[in-house]
Structure formats: structure tokens, C-alpha cells
Amino acid sequence: MPAVGQGTTTMVVTEFFLVGFGDLKRLNPLLFLVFAVVYVVTVSGNLLLVVLVCTQQGLQTPKYFFLANFSCLEVCYTSNILPRMLVDLLQEDRAISMVGCIIQLYFFGALGSTECYLLAVMPYDWYLAVCWPLHYLTLLHGTLTVGLTIASWLCGFSAAVFQAAMLSSLTFCRGNYIDHFFWDLKPLQKLSCSDPDLVNLVCMSLTSLVTLVPFGLILASYWKILSVILHIPSIIGKQKAFSSSSNLVVGTLFYGTLILVYAVPLAGQVLALNKTFSLFYTVVNPTCNPLIYSPQNNNVKEALKKKLRI
């Protein structure tokens, strides 16, 4: 189907074209190289964590079970975006059908929502270890650990159904060029000629359920943890308690960029800001997570040394 111009308002769009990094077109070969290296590093780093947790006896605890699921999730999440982006950097025809767009957007929303919920569950391990150390094994048993993880995946994939259903019900008649490097809801929304109030209501509701509520739970958990840590008399005890704070760094980076894109009107409207923040939660964060978690964790470092000796 030929591209629909911006002035055309009568033809219904059934196919879309990504602009990508159109203003940096001459840099596409360099961008391809950079993002290809980033993708390899991301997949390798996160899969290495999964392998270590599955094979090393000392890492088979609730904390590392959550971390292995999170790393697996990151591999799926970035694989939904980067391979297609790499292909688009080397070709001119970046067309995708409406059905293909909905499918990719569904998995992007499902995996992103699952990550939000899993990030909210992961501090529960640290909360129990700091606030209820004597009851840790009783409170966080294997069944509960698996149940919380499964619930995170189910809630994430269920929340994305509403987004996909809403997108499939929209009518697009304001052009079919998307000024983005992947199929995101905000740029697609600008091409829709359907009721914008309904779209905005659904977007804000999903943003609240998927980002604001879980992030609020994380902040509440860390506030309680911090209040307990400050009352620990031993300096070594405080350092040990703070050593598990990696989740707060990862969560702040991920939730922060998501909230800026989907909940702050300015960031969603300014395309340059939208693309920049989107790069953080789709590319930068998944790459940095193994680097954030592993160096601060002696158990992971020891397990890696054992694996390398084998």
C-alpha cells in the first residue's frame, strides 16, 4: 500500500512506516554497529546470570530466582525491539501491517508490564531479609516465590490485552509515517482520528496500574527498609543491608523513564525527548542490569569464578 500523506484524511491506514532515526540517516551504519554490540552484550550478560542461577547451588534462593526471571524477561523484552530496529537501520522499506504492529506492540506492552510488576516483587525479598530476618525462610517459601513470579507474568500479559484491544479498535487516517524507532502507542495515537479522550483515559489508567502503583509499592518498601537499617547499631550490618540496594537503582531508571514518556505530557509530545527516554528503557536499562546487579553481589561473583574454573 502506498504511503498516505499527512494531508490525506479520507483514506484509512492499514500499513505503517517507521521513520527511525531519520535525522541521523547518514549514521545508520554506525548506529547499526553500536546497537548490534549492545544487543549481544545485553543477551549474553542476562543469559549468563540465568545460567549461573540455574547451575550454581549457592544461588538457588528466592532472591536469585527473581533475578533469573528478571534477566530472562530482559532478554525477551529487548529481543522484541532491537532485532527489528537493526534490520530497519539497513533498509529503506520499513513497512509493517496493522496486524504486525499490534502483535509487536502487545508483546512490548506485556513484557514491559511484567517487568514493572516483577521489579515491585523483588524488593519483598530484601524487605523480609532486613525487617524479618528470623522468619525469612518461613515467610518467603518456594511456593510463594513461584506464585509471585507467575502472578507478575500473568498480570503483565493481561494488562497488555487492553492496550492491544484499544489499538485494534482505532481508525488511522492522519498519515502512516511513525516518527519513532519502534511501534509505540504514543506516536500511533497521533495518527488516529478516533476519540482522543478515550485513548488518553486508557493510556493514563494503564500507566497508573503498570508503573505508578508498583513504583509506589517499591518506595514504600524501601522507606520501611531504610527505617530499620538506620536502627542497626553495627556499621558492618548497615553495609550488608545496603548491599542489596541494586533493585532500587534499576527500578528508578526503568520506572522513571517510563513515567516520563507515558505520564508526563511534555515528554510524550516532544519527539526528541520521547525517543531519548525510550532508548533508556528499551536499550540502555536491559544492558546495564547485569552490570548493576553482579559487581555488587559477592555470591554472583563467586559463582562466576567457579563456573569459569570448570
Q: What angle do CA 199, 275, 45 make, to 5 degrees?
A: 110
pTM for this prediction: 0.83
- In the predicted model, is pLDDT for residue 230 greater than 90? no
The pLDDT assigned to 264 comes to 66
Phi, psi for 189 (deg, rounded to 5): -60, -35
Element (H, E) at 177: strand 177-178
Distance CA 111, CA 46 (A): 15
The pLDDT assigned to 8 comes to 42
Structural domains for the chain:
15-309 (1.20.1070.10)
Q: Count CB-CB contacts under 10 A for residue 284.
A: 15
User: What is the band of 102 on the pLDDT scale with cuts at 50, 70, 90?
Assistant: confident
Mean pLDDT within 157-181: 80
Percent of the chain with pLDDT over 90: 13
Per-residue pLDDT tens over the stretch 39-70: 999 999 899 888 888 888 777 888 889 989 99
User: What is the band of 157 on the pLDDT scale with cuts at 50, 70, 90?
Assistant: very high
